[in-house]
Amino acid sequence: MKTTKIIATGILAFGLVTANLQALDTNERLELLESAMIDQATTPAQKSAVSEYLANVAKEKVEMAQALRDRAGSTRGGKAISQMNERSELLRRAEALEKDAKKYRTISMDLTKPSMQVAQN
């Protein structure tokens, strides 16, 4: 009985360790899926759909950045140093989101240009 518990615990620990090594960050998974969508979009309709998706993602990121900026501007009481640290962290995250949104907008616009040219011809 004791040997069975040791073996079961060892297998469980080994499984947890290998699962953590193979796991990808959620953002990395999302970026891989998005790049696959962009690469696989060949028809104008597919490119339009992917472009619309990327534009919506950019819009959501801008909205989240604005919410973070609003939160950074409000005061909630407490120590001044911790408030300054929290404010700078929120502003840093907002800037990162806006940078991502700009990237998404650029990719979205790049996808719509060729499809518009095909439609005009």
Mean pLDDT of the chain: 79
Distance between CA atoms of residues 91 and 98, nearest Å: 10
Confidence label for 25 from pLDDT (cuts 50, 70 and 90): confident
Interacting residues of 55 by C-beta distance below 8 A, sequence separation 6+: 104, 105, 108
Say what the pLDDT of residue 62 is: 94
The per-residue pLDDT for 117 is: 46
| H helix intervals, 23-79 | 26-40, 44-73
pTM of the model: 0.66
Q: Read off the tokens for 79.
A: 């120590």
pLDDT at 121 over 60: no
Task: Read off the pLDDT of each residue in 31-54 and give the average, rounded to a whole number.
Answer: 86
